[in-house]
Amino acid sequence: MNQLLEWLKGGTLRSDGFAPQAADLVTKQPQLLAELLEGLDDRSPAKGSQCH
């Protein structure tokens, strides 16, 4: 799992976790957008509720 997805899976459904940091990193390094989108498209139960 890539670092962006690790950051996004942290926290709870009531918190942002590290989403602001992940967004900031993707803004500064646009090449990471593809990795982020791959993770958001993952339908596994472990990640799906955190990312959608």
Q: How far apart are CA 17 and CA 14, in angstroms?
A: 9
∠ CA 32-14-7, nearest 5°, is: 25
Note whether 45 and 24 are within 8 A (CB). no
Range of the domain at 28: 3-11+18-51
Q: Report whether pLDDT(6) > 90.
A: no
Find the helix or strand (DSSP H, E) in which 22 lies: helix 19-28
pLDDT 10s digits, 13-44: 777 778 888 889 999 999 999 988 887 777 66
Domain count, the chain: 1
Alpha-carbon 26 to chain mean position = 10
Quote the pTM value: 0.61
Task: Using DSSP, state whether 1 is helix, strand or coil.
Answer: coil
